[in-house]
Structure 1
Amino acid sequence: MSDSVASSCSGCPEAATCNETPETCSLPPKKEKGSVRRLVAVGSGKGGVGKSSVTALLAVALAKEGKKVGILDADVTGPSIPKLLGIRALPEGSPLGMVPPRSPELGICVMSVNLLLEDPAKPVIWRGPLVGNLVRQFWEDVFWGELDVLLVDLPPGTSDAPLTVMQSLPLDGMLVVTSPQELSLMVVEKAMHMTKMLNVPLLGMVENLSFAECPKCKERIELFGPSHLDAFAKKWNVPVLGCLPWDPFISRLGDKGRLEEYADLAQGDSLDALATTFREILQLA
């Protein structure tokens, strides 16, 4: 097994004795989606682009349209979804599996390792196999109930947790999040190559932190330079779902666990358009 393949398979307990590649890996059969209509990973490969915020905001926008939405927080070592949505309750046990708690306003169900820790500020210092096993359990051992969409918030990188999600979950596709810098796109492209290798459809791209709007004159300011998204999406033949602004309200509401209120604010128009396009791609009436 080559070094690159060994690295990408590091989350698998069979890695030491397996001669297969990630593309041909014969893992146990994936658990079917059951009552979950659409299962979509949200990732970037690049840290710091606001991937978790985009995941939470998209869930909020879909929930405000009346959709039943859940988030599987696969960012085991850096979970932030419960904080953003103000979820503090513990998962509950049931004969059908763990029942994830819901957000206070819209009832978005969330499963995250931070909900299982006595102190959410303590780090999760685990090696790859443990991370991969936990992500798999969050799908197989959690009773998600009837959902229109379950979003899977992926961590940065192209190994362990992202690999487990793409190999073990019956994904309908992946939504790619980036930011305007060319450096971001360079790293994001690695994740897109991995997605293609594992035969997961690329549903589209979202550019976060695309611009800031002057509160006085409404001029759009490109904080990180001009966007390269259209040319990049054309290269990969994937649609652009939308561009989200840099908005200080997101930080303020997220810090307070009140991100569910964001879609009611002025900048919500960009988010609503993204949610509508995303819903159309997934063919959710």
Structure 2
Amino acid sequence: MLEGVKHVLLVLSGKGGVGKSTISTQLALALKESGFRVGILDIDLCGPSVPYLLNLEGKDVHQSSEGWIPVFADSEQKLSVMSIGFLLKSQNDSVVWRGPKKNGMIKQFLSDVVWRDIDYLIIDTPPGTSDEHITVMENLRNVKCDGAIIVTTPQAVAIDDVLREVTFCRKTGIHIIGIIENMSGFVCPSCTECTNIFSSGGGIALSEMVKVPFLAKVPIDPQVGKLADKGQSVLVTLPDSQVAQVFRKLVEELTKSKEA
């Protein structure tokens, strides 16, 4: 099922609450707006937030003779999404599963979803370095995975946890594309000045420590927060915002490395 996928990107972090799903969805939307066909695989089984962020809650996954047909987020069918959130009877249902059942579901997601021909598959992972990550890597052994984008926030406690994710990637042979520092300052809605409400520079310090590229600093912008459940790209809705500039540059960097 992954033979038609040209590039696979993992979005990882050793810590929860750093905004992996927001980064994943906005990156996918930015790639789509840049003319690419994109898929998002949400394997955060206990906290599937991608359907909410793309305004797809209540949508159904359909079964075909080939496998599961993902949910399309747009009429042109350029952005396809798969998440356990589509398989639950209610958005309030919790997934109370032991490891083997979760691993079996992830294997199904990677083998039974009909992605067709897409340029980028973004895999949004749960926090930590648990069974789910190992299952993904075991199933991607025969597929070219471009690597991992690691998301952190500026605080020292987050950096310590994310450092363990870097160690995990190196032990399991995952190429690290780079580090994104999310929630890096607060953009004032009145004057657009960015103020550091947490500590700053943690992502850059981590990238220098582990010798991997630093990709971007993504600030907190209340205007972007209003898009949280609308499935809209900052490149379209807020093209002049600092966050839009960050994602525009990030897409350029990712696609440039693939074309080179």
TM-score, normalised with respect to structure 2? 0.91
C-alpha change, 1:151 and 1:125, in structure 2 (3 Å) is same
Larger Rg: 1
Q: CA deviation at 1:77?
A: 0.5
Task: Please tell me whether the aligned partners of residues 206 and 243 of structure 1 are also in contact (alpha carbons under 8 angstroms).
Answer: yes
3-state DSSP class of the match of 1:209? strand
Aligned to 2:235, which of 263, 273, 276? 263
RMSD: 1.6
Q: Alignment partner for residue 236 of structure 1, among 205, 210, 213? A: 210
Alignment of 1:170-249 (within 5 A): 170=143, 171-249=145-223
Q: Distance in 1 between matches of 2:226 and 2:191?
A: 22
Post-superposition shift, 1:132?
1.0
Contact 1:76 1:131 in 2 (8 A): yes
CA contact (8 A) 2:186 2:221 kept: yes
How many angstroms apart in 1 are the aligned matches of 2:192 and 2:9? 34
- Contact residue 250 and residue 259 of structure 1 kept, 8 A: no
Distance in 2, matches of 1:139 and 1:57, equals 22
Structure 2 residue matching 1:260: 3-state secondary structure: coil
In the alignment, the residues of structure 2 paired with residue 126 and residue 249 of structure 1 have an alpha-carbon distance, to the nearest angstrom, of 37
Moved more, 213-222 or 77-86: 213-222
The whole-number CA distance in structure 1 between the counterparts of 2:76 and 2:167 is 35
Q: Identify which range, 73-82 or 85-94, moves more after superposition.
A: 85-94
Whole-angstrom CA distance in 1 between matches of 2:73 and 2:18: 24
Q: 2 CA distance for matches of 1:212 and 1:123? A: 33
Instruction: Report the CA distance between 1:106 and its aligned residue.
Output: 6.4
Structure-2 change in CA distance of 1:279 and 1:184 (3 Å) = same
The number of aligned residues is 251
**Among residues 78, 96, 106, which one is paired with 2:66 in the alignment?**
96
The 3 A distance-change label for structure 1 pair 217 and 251 is closer
Instruction: Map 1:157-168 to 2 at 5 A.
Output: 157-168=128-139
How far did residue 97 of structure 1 move? 0.8
CA distance in 2, matches of 1:41, 1:57: 14
* In structure 2, C-alpha distance between the alignment counterparts of 1:99 and 1:223, rounded to whole Å: 43
Q: Distance in 2 between matches of 1:106 and 1:252?
A: 24
CA contact (8 A) 2:71 2:82 kept: yes
Q: Which residue of 2 aligns with 1:150?
A: 121
Q: Which deviates more, 264-273 or 132-141?
A: 264-273
Residue 48 of structure 2 corresponds to residue 83 of structure 1: no
Which residue identity is paired with 2:162? V
- Cα deviation for residue 284 of structure 1 reads 4.7
Counterpart secondary structure, 2:249 = helix
Q: List structure 1 segments (4+ residues) > 6 angstroms apart after TM superposition.
A: none
Partner of 1:125: 96
| Equivalent AA in structure 1 for residue 202 of structure 2 | H
1:249–1:262 Cα contact (<8 Å) kept: no
Q: Distance in 1 between matches of 2:177 and 2:194?
A: 27
SS of equivalent to 1:204: strand
Supply the AA of the counterpart residue of 1:95.
S
Fraction of identical pairs, as percent: 34
Matches within 5 A, 1:8-47: 33-47=2-16
CA contact (8 A) 2:9 2:120 kept: yes
Match for residue 253 of structure 2 among 267, 277, 280 = 277
Q: Which amino acid aligns with 1:38?
A: H
